[in-house]
Each structure stands twice: as structure tokens, then as C-alpha cells.
Structure 1
Amino acid sequence: MSYYQLFSNYGRDVYFSYTEKNEYDQSDFRKGLVYPLDEKLHYSIDKFDPYLNEYDILPTIGGLLVSLKFKKLVERLGSDCQFISAVITSTKSGEINDSFFVMNILNVISCLDMEKSEYKPLLKSLPNGPIEVLSVKYVPNSLDGHHIARMKEYKGYIIVDDVFIKACKVQKIKGVMFVKEG
């Protein structure tokens, strides 16, 4: 089984930003913690592009924004993800789009092959602290039946397997890109 890193690939170079309206800290989405579902999460963007709703995954600062189509695909695969309703606001026009969900990945799995990968400490003063990954090699079979997970060693990485990629191709998921190890 091969593993890949998941990226968003949107029509212009922009990020949908997690706003200060949210009580939940955006870094908690990297910890695999369940979010209380009693309120929507807020994101902002400068303007809405006419092609926005054609995309199934959006580039974000904060938890990933995904379409209903992408949400259903992940749920069919049985992956441990939580989906929270989102409200995206245009800072220029004040328009609102509430058709996306925040995908909260609950699987945080150790899958980085520390022997074969290249990495260095993010801060020289903390040699055993967070790392910067330069070249990735994954531990074989480390996702253990999960199709999507966060990498424990570097929680900014979302890792998927061949089954996930095949499902995305079959469903014609738009805005997603996969990078193989190496």
C-alpha cells in the first residue's frame, strides 16, 4: 500500500482563513480532538470566486474546508473524521457561503519512517521539539486500515492511501492533489 500527502489545489493563490469569531483554537484541528458540534465555524476570504462551489477542497489556514461531495466520500470510506458546518464570509462584499464543512481528522498516526526520511529540528534551540520534514518516507502499513490520517510526527501533513485516491478519482473530486513519498 502506498501513501501520499494530501494538498488542496485551488484556482488562485489564496487561503480561506479561520477567523477570531471561533472559540475553538485552530491548532486543535491538528490534535485529533473531537469538536463540540453546537456551533458553525467561521472562515473569511477576500472575495468569492465564481468557481468556488466547483471545488471539493479549499486551501485553508485552520481545519480543511470540504464540500458535501467530499464529506460523503470520506464517510463512505469509514474514515474517522468529524465534519463541522462552516460559514465563509467575503471581507469585500460581506456575502456568505455556508455550503462547506470543516473536516476534523481524528486519526493521528505515527507513520514517518524516521530512519529513511530527512528532517531537521524546526528550532535549533529545541532539538527534540517540532521538526521540518525535508524528504518523506512512510512506515509500510502504518495507517493500519485507515484511509486518511494526520501524521503524528508532523501534524500539518494529511496522509492518505491508494483506496482514498482511487475513490477521489472515481468521484471526480476537484481541488485535491496527492504527493507521493520521496
Structure 2
Amino acid sequence: MVYELKISDNYSDSYWFEYEQSEFSNIDLIQGKKIRLDNPLNFELKKKVSEKKLLSFDYFLSDGPDFISPRLATLLADNKDFLKDVQLLDANVVINGKNYSGFKVLNILRMLSCIDMDKSDSVPILDHLPDGPKRFTQIVFRNDVIEDFYMARCLEYKYCVVISEKLRQLFIENNVKGIEL
């Protein structure tokens, strides 16, 4: 069984971080290749918020890549099989003018064919390329996905990230906040 990785409903719009452009772009992250960084990626939240409430989350959104908390990063870094699917990139975060380290950006290395193209609804992004990249209005996952994985990008739509049942259970058992489970 595969599940789409989605942000939870209780994640406030006030918690969207700004990504400081660096040596690579968001597009580099959807290629499924390891990335070498000389410096951590930087994110800043421009709005004043309750740090305690914000830092209770484990998954964060930005106008660039999404990233995870130090707590979740530690939990995932202890799982060698997870690290076969995902590279953890260092990130620094600024909240209310304070610097925080230990956050990680997920660079997903695994690609997985998992979308049922016959049951899903999509349209070509470019009219003149009907067989080119698609924009999905509804995604239905195939029932016959049997690959052993933790986290992957859908081969049919690289912006869609999926997690396995075993990762979903790990998130539930460890009360991971910010992800729809």
C-alpha cells in the first residue's frame, strides 16, 4: 500500500518558510540523484509566531523544498533502510530572529511507478506535448505495488511523494506532527 505524503490540515498558513536560494534549485531535488552541499540550506519564517507551537511540528513547508525537524531527522537517520531511499541534507532555520540547526531537507532518491494512469485524471501541462508532463487533478494509486520501500517519488508525477505502510506506521508510533496520517 502506498500513501501520498501530505501536510496535515492543522499546519497553519503562517508557518510557510522562505527558502534562501543556494547552489541548487528545487528542480534538482526531483531528479532522484544524490546532491553534494558545501553549506546548509537556509530557511526563514518572516512572520512572528509561537515558536513552541511551530516547533511542535516535524514537517515544514517552504516556497522551496520542504524540510523536517531535528527529532524526525534523528528518528529517520537511525534507519539504514530509509537512508537507501532518501538523502538528508542539512538545513538551518530562522524563527523570530533565532537560528536553529539540526533540520533536514529530504532528497528522495527512489522513483516508484505507482500511479494508475487509467483511473487518475490528468491533463498535459503543455497542449502541444500531449504525451509530455502531466498535471494531475486526481491521483489513484495502483494496488499492485509490491516494492519494498520507505519513501519515493512517483515516476509518473515526480512532484508526488509517497510513503510505505511501514513508514506510515513509524510516523504514527512516534507521533509525527505535520503530516496527514
Which TM-score band applies after superposition, normalised by the shorter structure? Answer: 0.7 to 0.9
User: TM (normalized to structure 1)?
Assistant: 0.84
After alignment, is 119-128 or 136-145 more displaced?
136-145
How far 1:123 sits from its partner (Å)?
A: 2.4
**1:64 matched to 2:66:** yes
How far 1:97 sits from its partner (Å)?
A: 2.2
Runs of 4+ aligned structure 1 residues displaced above 6 Å come to none
Match of 1:89 among 72, 94, 100: 94
Partner residue, 1:109: 112
How far 1:152 sits from its partner (Å)?
A: 1.6
Decide whether the 8 Å contact of 1:64 with 1:104 is kept in 2: no
Partner residue, 1:44: 44
Equivalent-residue separation in structure 2 for 1:104 and 1:48 (angstroms): 29
Equivalent-residue separation in structure 2 for 1:3 and 1:48 (angstroms): 36
- Say if 1:97 and 1:143 are closer, same or farther in 2 by CA, change over 3 A: farther
Partner residue, 1:16: 17
Decide whether the 8 Å contact of 1:63 with 1:104 is kept in 2: no
Decide whether the 8 Å contact of 1:40 with 1:87 is kept in 2: yes
Match of 2:168 among 159, 165, 172: 165
Partner residue, 1:6: 5
Identity of matched residues, %: 26
CA RMSD in angstroms, aligned pairs only: 2.0
Per-residue Cα deviation, 1:75-107 (whole angstroms, up to 9, x for no partner):
4272211111111235xx543222311111111
How far 1:141 sits from its partner (Å)?
A: 4.2
Q: Number of aligned pairs?
A: 174
- Say if 1:107 and 1:48 are closer, same or farther in 2 by CA, change over 3 A: farther
Equivalent-residue separation in structure 2 for 1:16 and 1:94 (angstroms): 13
Q: Secondary structure at the match of 1:120?
A: strand
How far 1:58 sits from its partner (Å)?
A: 0.4
Q: Secondary structure at the match of 2:166?
A: helix
Q: Secondary structure at the match of 1:87?
A: strand
